[in-house]
Chains A and B, each alone.
Chain A
Amino acid sequence: MNNKKPSWVTYFSLAAVGLAGTGISSTALAQDPYTVGIEASFPPWAYVESGEFKGIAIDAMSAIAEDQGFEIEFQDMPFPSLIPALAAQKIDILATGLTVTEERAEAIDFSIPWWETNDVVLVPEDSDANVFTAVCCGASVGVQGGSSQQAWMEENVINNSDVDVSLSKYDSYVTAVDDMAIGRISSVIVDDTSAQEYINSGRPVKMAGKIYIRAPLALAVTKDDSQEVLGKLNQGIMNIYDSGEWQEIVSSYIPGVVAPPIPGHMPGFVDTYDKPVSGLPELGNE
C-alpha cells in the first residue's frame, strides 16, 4: 500500500520547493549605484563607528563619486572575500588599503596608485627585540590573512630560508595586535599607516623597525570593467588630489601625515599602468 503516492505529499513538496525559491532578491541593475566593497575593520582606511562607515577610503571614495557624478553604496566584507567578490562581480569597486601586487593584477584591474606604504614590525611595548630578531630565530609573527605582508613574509623568510619563524594569519590586524598583547605571538607585521593608528590609540605596542617595500595602494575594478569605471576612478583620484581634498581627508584621519604624491610609482607588471592609462591618457609606462 505504500506504493501508492498520496497526492498531498506531492503538493506539499512542490510548495516547499516553491517556498525555497522565493526570497532571493537580485541586487544590481545596470543603472544602480556602484557597489563599493570595503573591509570595514581596517582603520584608518575603513571602519564602522556608531553604525556609520568612516575612514580615508570611505571619504575619498565618496569625494571621487561626487567629482565624477556617480552614485555609490558600500558593502562590507572580510578582506579575504573582497578580491573573489570583485572577480565574481558581486562588487564593482574595491576600496580598502589594497596593495598593488603582481598576482592580484592578474585577477583584477588597478586604478592609479593613491598611496604608498612601507611595512612596520610591531612588538610589545616592553619587548627588547629589534627589527631583525623580531622576525627571526624562533619568533612567531602575526599578519592578516591574504595580506601583502603575509606574501612578503612567505616570499622572503618562510619559503626561502631555514630561519625558524612561524607565521600566524589573522582575520584582521586588530586581533593580531590583541593576540600579541597576551603573548601568543611575538611580533606583528603591518603597514605603517595602521601601525601609527595602534600607537596613537594607546595600544601597548611599539615599532621595532621598518621594512621599506614602497608598496603602492590603489582602488580596483573587475578585469573586464564593462561599466568603464576605471577611467572615472583615475580622473577622480587625480582631481581630489589636485584640489587638496585628498590631503584634507588624510589629515583628518592621520594628523601630521603628508599624503604621498599622486600618481606614485606605477609598477611595470600592472597592465593597466601601460600608456595610455584609462581616463588619464598622458600618463603610463612606455
Chain B
Amino acid sequence: MDIYDVLIRDFPFLLKGLGVAIALLFCLLVIGLFLGLAICLIQLYGPRSRFVQWPLIVYERIFRGIPIIIMLFIFFYGLSGVYDISAFAAAVLAMGLRSAAYQSQIFRSAFQSVPEGQMLAARAMGMSSSKAIAYIVLPQAIRHAIGPWTNEFSSQIKETSLAYVIGVVELTRQAHYIITSTQGNVLIVFAVVALLYFILNRAGNSALYAFERKLSVPGFEK
C-alpha cells in the first residue's frame, strides 16, 4: 500500500493524536495560568516572610532549571509509589507545574511594568490594596502579559510531543505508529505532522493576537 494511501486512511488517527495534544496543552496552560498568577501575586503583594517567599523561589528555579523529559519521568514513576497516576495526568502535572514557573515570571514582569504611582494614587483615593490590584493594576498587567504569554503557548505546543516517552499517545506517537507499521517513510509522515503542529500554532497565535488587539486601550499601544 502506498504511503499516501496509508496517510489518507490513517489521517483520523493523526487528528485523534492532535486532539490529545490539544487536551494536554489546554490542561497544562490552565494549571500554569492560575498557579502562575497566584505565585506572581504572592511574590509581589503577599507576606514578605521568607517562609512564604523562599519556597516560591526554590519552586520556580527547580521547574525552570530541569529538562521537562526528566520531570515527566519523575512525575510518572516517582509518584507511583504514592499514587497510581495515569500517564496523561502525570504529563499535565509535570508540564503544568513547569509552565506555572514560567508564567509566574511573565505575570511578574507584566505587573511590574504598571507604574507604581498608580497603586499609590488608588490607595490615596481610599481603595483597599486588593481592590487597587483587582481594578487598577491587574487589568493593565493582563494586557502586558498577552504578548509574552503567546510565546509560552507556542513553546508548550511543541513540548507536548515529549509526553510520548511516558506513554501518552499524542500526535507524535500516532505518527510513529504509521512510520513503524509501514516500515519507514519517516520524512513524509513527519512533514504532515509538522504541518499539523504549525497550523495549530498559527491558529493559536492569531487568536491570541486578535485578543490582544481587542483588549488594547486606545492611546496606550506601543
Which of A's residues lie within 8 Å of B, judged by CB?
1-9, 12-13, 15-17, 19-20, 23-28, 40-43, 47-51, 54, 75-78, 81, 84-85, 88-90, 172, 174-175, 177-178, 181, 197-198, 201, 203
Contact = CB atoms under 8 A, between A and B. Distances in A.
Contacts of B30: 19
Given A6-B130, A90-B76, A174-B180, 7 more contacts: A1-B129, A5-B47, A16-B34, A17-B35, A23-B89, A50-B10, A203-B184
B38 A12 contact: yes
21 contacts: A8-B130, A9-B133, A15-B34, A20-B100, A23-B89, A23-B92, A25-B89, A26-B83, A48-B180, A50-B9, A50-B10, A75-B87, A75-B167, A81-B165, A85-B77, A90-B77, A90-B84, A90-B87, A174-B186, A175-B186, A201-B182
B166 to A, nearest CB: 6
B10 A51 contact: yes
Contact of A9 (B10, B41, B180, B181): B41
B45 interface: yes
A3 B164 CA distance: 45
Contacts of B45: 2, 5-6, 9
A4 B129 contact: yes
Interface residues of B, number: 55
Contacts of B64: none
A17 B180 contact: no
B75 to A, nearest CB: 10
Given A5-B45, A27-B84, A88-B77, A43 B93 contact: no
B167 A85 contact: yes
A51 B173 CA distance: 11
B114 interface: no
Residue from B35, B92, B128, B167 with most neighbouring chain A CB atoms (10 Å): B167
Contacts of A198: 183
Contacts of B46: 5, 9
Nearest to A40: B177
Contacts of A174: 179-180, 183-184, 186
Given A19-B30, A90-B77, A13 B42 contact: yes
B183 A203 contact: yes
A238 to B, nearest CB: 30
Interface string B94-129: 001100100000000000000000000001000011
Contact of B37 (A12, A43, A54): A12
Interface string B60-85: 00000000000001001100110111
Contacts of B165: 78, 81
Contact of A24 (B41, B73, B93, B179): B93
A24 B184 contact: no
Contacts of A178: 184, 186
Interface string B180-218: 111110100000000000000000000000000000000
Nearest to B36: A16
B134 interface: yes
Given A17-B35, A20-B31, A28-B84, A43 B183 contact: yes
B169 interface: yes
Given A3-B47, A16-B34, A51-B10, A84 B77 contact: yes
